[in-house]
Chain A
Amino acid sequence: MSLPTTPSQTVGPFFAIGICRRAAHELVRDGFPLCGRLLDGDGAPVPDGVVELWSATARTWGRCGTDRDGRFAFIVAKPPAAAGEAPRYDVLVFARGLLRHQLTRVYFPDEDEANAADPVLSSLDPATGATLVAAADGDGLRFDIRMQGDSQTVFFA
């Protein structure tokens, strides 16, 4: 038996009343900031998006709605790496105008060796793969997500 699956629809502009009622941006208590901006094809901020972070190895999860400048901010720790892979968070992006959410990843900039050996990251050409590696930024990390264009973030299926 194979039932047909339910299609996706956009999260729309008013999702905050439903899925951002409780703060959920702290994945750990004593972590460091992971901040960034969600940007559209013109490089303009997406002020009505939601970013979810998840780690299968650390069993942690969080989400954050973007502000008027497209900014999101999490408190995270570096999760353990799975065997043969570099440490990372899996990232989901939702927004008005996005009819299905998009899946991406954020890797850590101080893991050159592990990143070079990661089977997914190393399969991408270097310029494309670079869109998935956060940048050091003060005490934390910065990770911008670009929906379109030459520097579009890699999205996965």
Chain B
Amino acid sequence: MTESGIVLPDDPGFGPDVQLDYPGYRSTRLRAPTRPLVTLPEDFHALDGPVFGEDAVDELDNDLTQGHGGDPLGERIVVSGRLLDDAGRPIRGALIEIWQANAAGRYHHEVDRHPAPLDPNFAGAGRCITDDDGGYRFVTIKPGSYPWGNHENAWRPAHIHFSVFGRAFTQRLVTQMYFPGDPLFAYDPIFNAVRDPKARALLVSRFDLATTTPQWALGYTWDIVLRSTPAENDG
């Protein structure tokens, strides 16, 4: 397949929506639903979602560099930001879970056969609960890029997977955070399945000197925005 068959031209008409049947991402072919979605009554979108208390999280769960008897290899980073609704209001007490490859581009997962080393000091998973300002913070290492079988010479840009619970069930979001300036952006069908370049840019974190810790770790910031629920807008 040619490069142009992998990445389609930008199309701002998609807005924040990812193209579910994006042809360049081969696995969508048998998995993206083919029948139109049925629209639910608006009040469904106001129903409260699961509530996760502080007991859902252990003390060191937001530090992926701890708990393994030694320091992981790679570039230590701090990833922080805020969870907001589209009116700019903080979403407090929400569970955020992350997972990622190690610095060599290998996941601590039995299905991952990429011939890059595993790191005994890095499991690659963390979680936290957002604070009163909707803030979250993880300490981790910068993940490596890795090859995948989607097409000839396919490589994923470095990314961290995020799973986010909002206040309402229909605010649920699973996505991926990328790093600024990645040379693989132009070749990645998953990233480019978000067809609007402005929306795609929202998946890219920002290097941040203010959260960079001297002599210790680079800082990246990334805010996550979920749509408001009808009930909140009534208020």
Residues on A lying within 8 angstroms of B by beta carbon are: 1-19, 21, 40-42, 44, 46, 48, 52, 54, 56, 59, 61, 90, 92, 94-103, 119-120, 123-124, 147-149, 152, 154-157
- Cβ–Cβ < 8 Å partners of B51 in chain A: 59
Q: How far is the CB of B13 from chain A (nearest CB, A)?
A: 14
- Cβ–Cβ < 8 Å partners of B39 in chain A: 156-157
B109-146 to A contact mask, C-beta < 8 Å, 1/0 = 10110000000000111000000000000000000000
Which range contains the number of B residues in contact with the other chain?
35 or more
Q: With A4-B225, A54-B49 in contact, do A100 and B20 touch (Cβ < 8 Å)?
A: yes
Chain A residue nearest in CB terms to B39: A157
Give which listed residue, B35, B112, B224, contacts A6 with CB less than 8 A. B224
Q: With A18-B98, A56-B169 in contact, do A156 and B30 touch (Cβ < 8 Å)?
A: no
Interface pair A5/B190, CB less than 8 Å apart: no
Chain A residue nearest in CB terms to B228: A2
Total A-B pairs, Cβ < 8 A: 183
- Cβ–Cβ < 8 Å partners of B10 in chain A: none
Q: With A16-B109, A56-B47, A56-B48 in contact, do A8 and B18 touch (Cβ < 8 Å)?
A: yes
Interface pair B193/A99, CB less than 8 Å apart: yes
**Interface of chain A: mostly helix, strand, loop or mixed:** loop
- Cβ–Cβ < 8 Å partners of A147 in chain B: 30-33
**Interface of chain B: mostly helix, strand, loop or mixed:** loop
Interface pair A54/B202, CB less than 8 Å apart: no
Interface pair B35/A18, CB less than 8 Å apart: no
- Cβ–Cβ < 8 Å partners of A18 in chain B: 97-99, 124-125, 161, 163
Query: CA of A147 to CA of B27 in the docked complex: distance in angstroms?
Result: 12
- Cβ–Cβ < 8 Å partners of A48 in chain B: 111
Q: How far is the CB of B228 from chain A (nearest CB, A)?
A: 9
Q: Which of A17, A48, A155 is packed against the most chain B CB atoms within 10 Å?
A: A17
Interface pair B198/A4, CB less than 8 Å apart: yes
Interface pair B25/A99, CB less than 8 Å apart: yes
Query: CA of A94 to CA of B172 in the docked complex: distance in angstroms?
Result: 11
Chain B residue nearest in CB terms to A157: B37
Interface pair A4/B202, CB less than 8 Å apart: yes
- Cβ–Cβ < 8 Å partners of A149 in chain B: 34
B170 within 8 A of A: yes
- Cβ–Cβ < 8 Å partners of A96 in chain B: 27, 31
B6-33 to A contact mask, C-beta < 8 Å, 1/0 = 0000000000111110100111111111
- Cβ–Cβ < 8 Å partners of B174 in chain A: 8-11, 94, 101
Q: List 5 additional contacts besides A4-B225, A18-B99, A157-B39; criterion CB under 8 Å.
A: A6-B224, A18-B163, A54-B169, A154-B38, A157-B38
